């Protein structure tokens, strides 16, 4: 089976690029794959990112540029050249450029349909129908009409659609009036990193613990509330350290990392901001941390959390905000501690609770690991391959008929 995958790709820094690197990296190891051609964006970034690809089965072709009105034609040209069995596209609202460029994605699907090849789209974000995207009521209404039209068109033009959880599927079917298309919408979870081995225990003196926060530094992450909460928390428990790992999202026009750096300039020395780091160093930090904090304040979008998927299998307790992408996956008090978004007091209480109770930290971490055990990347890659084979076989039978 030969697959053409359309996606952003490292060193480009967005969640879909990282997701795709893990997914196709694991798919390339599968014996059922003859070749994966990754039609990726041209990236100006030189940030390092290591990913293991089966070199005989996987090739990255940088053929299109974000923000170019020509991207549908560039992608179509290369798909035509490669003549794959399956075409798999990743979709995010700003994946191919600004809002205006999102309007061209259905045109790309229309062109690809002309090739009579199975077209599968993974939708990474579903917008709630009642979402307040703009303060201006007229602009907000027009934006939602455009989103509804584009989403419905994408689903109808695709042979299959993949989403990451059942709430995304439910909203597409009910809120977007796509109930008739339910048989073509499949739920395949976001993959989680498999843990090979645990290093030797790192004991700390005087009850000191390390708290880790990771993810893109964006306006909707609300990392400033975590910093303020930790300042109050560490005033009572000075032997604690907060490490913030992350950086600017490639699609953001504003650089919120600069604002965070200004906040940290007047903060205690026990708050460390690393920017992006390589995967091995991040593994070390996760193992050395007793508490993981995942911060997010946005509730307009239904999606999966890449940060949660990155840490879920380490057996570490997680504090997260009560927003859809965490509420879908987790249960407060059972496998995480949830706090109110933008509520420093709630976050400080959660930090204090976990700091004082080592048994609770262990229980939450074990429960979290158990919940995500079946979602490792190798299993997710296998489920993609099974879906691809099913669609390809049905299309072949139809063509023969």
Q: What are 70's two structure tokens?
A: 């020509």
| CA gap 354, 229 in Å, rounded | 14
Q: Is 145 contained in some domain?
A: yes
Same domain, 361 and 395: no
Query: Do 253 and 317 sit in the same domain of this protein?
Result: yes
Question: In terms of domains, do 37 and 164 share one?
Answer: yes
The pair phi, psi for residue 40, each rounded to 5°, is -110, 165
Q: For residue 82, count other CB atoms closer than 10 A to its CB.
A: 16
Q: Is residue 197 part of a domain?
A: no
| 102, 225: one domain | no
- pLDDT score, position 32: 77
Termini Cα distance of the chain: 21
State the Cα–Cα distance between residues 288 and 210, nearest whole angstrom: 7
Q: Which residues of the chain have pLDDT under 70?
A: 44-52, 197, 200-207, 394-401
Tell me: do 289 and 393 sit in the same domain.
no
Q: How many CA atoms lie within 13 A of 102 on its CB side?
A: 18
Indicate whether 24 and 156 sit together in one domain.
yes
Total tally of structural domains belonging to the chain:
2
Report d(CA 221, CA 214) in Å as an integer. 10
The angle that helices 137-157 and 105-113 make with each other, rounded to 10 degrees, is: 10
Helical spans, DSSP H, in 10-70:
15-27
Structural domain includes residue 108: yes
Structural domain of 183? 2-191+376-400
Same domain, 118 and 209: no
pLDDT at position 204: 60
**β-bridge partners, 186:** 162
pTM above 0.95, yes or no: no
What is the CB neighbour count within 10 angstroms for residue 196?
Answer: 6
Give dist(CA 148, CA 166) in Å, integer: 19
Q: Are 388 and 88 in contact (CB under 8 A)?
A: yes
Same domain, 28 and 143: yes
Same domain, 318 and 386: no
d(CA 278, CA 294): 19
Q: Return the structure tokens found at 217.
A: 């530094």
* Chain length of the chain: 401
Question: Do 187 and 241 reside in the same domain of the chain?
Answer: no
CATH number for the domain harbouring residue 148: 3.40.50.2000
Burial class (CB in 10 A: 0-12, 13-18, 19+), 184: middle
Answer yes or no: is 131 within a domain.
yes
In this structure, the answer to whether residues 116 and 155 fall within a common structural domain is yes
Beta bridge partners of 41: 64
Q: Are residues 86 and 9 in the same domain?
A: yes
DSSP 220: G
What 8-state DSSP symbol labels residue 376?
B
The rounded distance, in Å, linking the Cα atoms of 249 and 267 is 24
């Amino acid at each position: 089976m030969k697959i053409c995958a359309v996606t952003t790709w490292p060193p480009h820094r967005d969640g879909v690029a990282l997701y795709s690197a893990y997914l196709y990296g694991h798919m390339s190891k599968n014996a059922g794959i003859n070749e994966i051609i990754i039609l990726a964006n041209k990236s100006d970034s030189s940030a390092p990112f290591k990913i293991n690809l089966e070199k005989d089965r996987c090739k990255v072709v940088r053929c299109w540029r974000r923000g170019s009105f020509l991207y549908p034609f560039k992608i179509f040209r290369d798909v035509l050249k490669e003549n794959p069995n399956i075409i798999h596209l990743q979709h995010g609202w700003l994946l191919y450029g600004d809002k205006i460029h999102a309007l061209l994605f259905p045109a790309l699907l229309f062109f690809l349909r002309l090739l009579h090849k199975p077209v599968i789209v993974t939708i990474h974000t579903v917008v709630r129908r009642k979402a307040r995207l703009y303060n201006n009521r007229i602009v907000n209404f027009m934006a939602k009409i455009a989103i509804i039209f584009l989403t419905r068109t994408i689903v109808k033009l695709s042979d299959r659609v993949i989403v990451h959880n059942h709430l995304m599927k439910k909203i597409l079917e009910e809120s977007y009036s796509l109930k008739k298309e339910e048989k073509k919408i499949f739920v395949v979870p976001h993959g989680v990193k498999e843990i090979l081995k645990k290093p030797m225990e790192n004991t700390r003196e005087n009850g000191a613990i390390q708290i880790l926060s990771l993810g893109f530094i964006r306006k909707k992450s609300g990392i400033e509330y975590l910093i303020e909460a930790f300042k109050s928390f560490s005033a009572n428990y000075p032997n604690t350290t907060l490490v913030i790992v992350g950086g600017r999202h490639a699609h953001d026009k504003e650089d919120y990392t600069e604002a965070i750096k200004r906040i940290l300039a007047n903060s205690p020395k026990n708050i460390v901001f690393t920017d992006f780091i390589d995967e091995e160093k991040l593994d070390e930090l996760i193992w050395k941390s007793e508490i993981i904090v995942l911060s997010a304040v946005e509730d307009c979008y239904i999606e999966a959390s890449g940060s949660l998927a990155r840490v879920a299998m380490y057996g570490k307790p997680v504090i997260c905000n009560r927003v859809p992408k965490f509420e879908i996956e987790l249960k407060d008090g059972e496998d995480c501690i949830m706090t109110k978004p933008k509520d420093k007091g709630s976050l400080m209480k959660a930090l204090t609770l976990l700091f004082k109770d080592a048994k609770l930290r262990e229980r939450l971490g074990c429960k979290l690991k158990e919940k995500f055990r079946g979602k490792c990347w190798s299993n997710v890659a296998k489920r993609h391959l099974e879906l691809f084979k099913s669609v390809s076989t049905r299309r072949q039978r139809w063509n023969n008929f």
